[in-house]
Chain A
């Protein structure tokens, strides 16, 4: 089952996971910059992280025939300190030209604060200035509904952002309809306890259709599953959906979205 996992954090996982993903049919992944599970002490910590994402991880993935792409940003959790966030944003330009960088991400909100929103707006403006695609992280649990709406408002208020070049990730039943209605792409994250199961992702695809939607694992240092994307494919097949539909969801759709940046090739 050939697939792309368009949102995963392999820098916090083992090489064994790359092997298991390759064995399961993974041909490409994209790795957004995110929170490390603790707040970094200086902007220099991000410099090293961005080097890992643009130099080291592509080589590690390449050993298993997996193409590695990435996204650069200051994540919403650490964006709550605006001065610190701006120090990190000052080093973006050095990395946006790297051959595996597809855009700005995963930006968004975490606790829906004014500080987070300020830095989100500044990163959206940066994306507009550099003509970058955007990958959005929506907040967790009780903060998701309000945060998803605030993020879409901020994207629209900028006035220069094409919604077709924005992926709004970690959508669930209460946010996916509005994301699609407002013209953005929606991402379904299959992640234990806090996000979707393969079954619920399949339900959402049955209800909302398969246009402008991708599925991903967002596998990271928490309990998560690097094989979540093919498991969603198996779930769709178990319900009798066609091979064409499964391929559209787990391969064609991410390829279509990501290919809007000509750096993305398979």
Chain B
């Protein structure tokens, strides 16, 4: 399979993308602050936020394939199939199963 890499070096890539992703990181911080201000004490954490926290840890680990591994955290890994779909038919962005 023919593969190719960007002709930009590491500094070139940082020059291209740093500000955009700096802004995204601040957005995530502000989102978590917003959730904290709205805390409902005693309620179990929402399954989506549990997955979000697990996925966030991938950002700072030492391993590659971060995008792929984050997508896998948000994926349904159950083997079973339901007979039919619920009326809403939508996807939530994270699986309902307990995040381990």
User: Is the CB–CB distance between A240 and B7 below 8 Å?
Assistant: yes
Q: Mark B1-36, 1 if CB is under 8 A from A, else 0.
A: 111111110000000110000000000000000000
User: Is the CB–CB distance between B68 and A174 below 8 Å?
Assistant: yes
The answer to whether A243 has its CB under 8 Å from any CB of chain B is no
Residues of A in contact with B, size category: 35 or more
Q: Mark B62-85, 1 if CB is under 8 A from A, else 0.
A: 000101100110111110011111
**Contacting B82 at CB < 8 Å: which of A77, A111, A238?**
A111
User: Is the CB–CB distance between B81 and A172 below 8 Å?
Assistant: no
Tell which of A16-24, A129-137, A140-148, A155-163 binds the partner: A140-148
User: Is the CB–CB distance between A143 and B83 below 8 Å?
Assistant: no
> How many Å lie between the Cα of A211 and that of B74 in the bound state?
28
User: Is the CB–CB distance between A142 and B1 below 8 Å?
Assistant: no
Known A143-B76, A146-B76, A211-B2; judge A115-B91 contact (CB<8 A).
Answer: no
Residues of B in contact with A, size category: 20 to 34
Task: Give chain A's interface secondary structure class.
Answer: helix
User: Is the CB–CB distance between A111 and B74 below 8 Å?
Assistant: no
User: Is the CB–CB distance between A211 and B68 below 8 Å?
Assistant: no
Which residues of B are found within 8 Å of A114, using beta-carbon distances? Answer: 81-84
* From B3, B85, B91, residue with most partner A Cβ within 10 Å: B85
Which residues of A are found within 8 Å of B72, using beta-carbon distances? Answer: 145, 174
The answer to whether B58 has its CB under 8 Å from any CB of chain A is no
23 A-B pairs (CB sep. < 8 Å): A111-B82, A112-B81, A112-B82, A113-B84, A114-B81, A114-B82, A116-B85, A141-B74, A141-B94, A143-B76, A173-B68, A173-B71, A174-B71, A174-B75, A205-B4, A206-B6, A209-B3, A209-B4, A210-B4, A239-B6, A239-B7, A239-B8, A241-B6
Kindly list the 3 A-B residue pairs having the minimum CB-CB distance in the complex, ordered from nearest.
A240-B7, A239-B6, A111-B85
Interface, chain B (partner A; CB < 8 A): 1-8, 16-17, 65, 67-68, 71-72, 74-78, 81-86, 89, 91-95
Interface, chain A (partner B; CB < 8 A): 77, 80, 110-117, 139-146, 150, 172-174, 180, 199-200, 202-203, 205-211, 238-241, 245
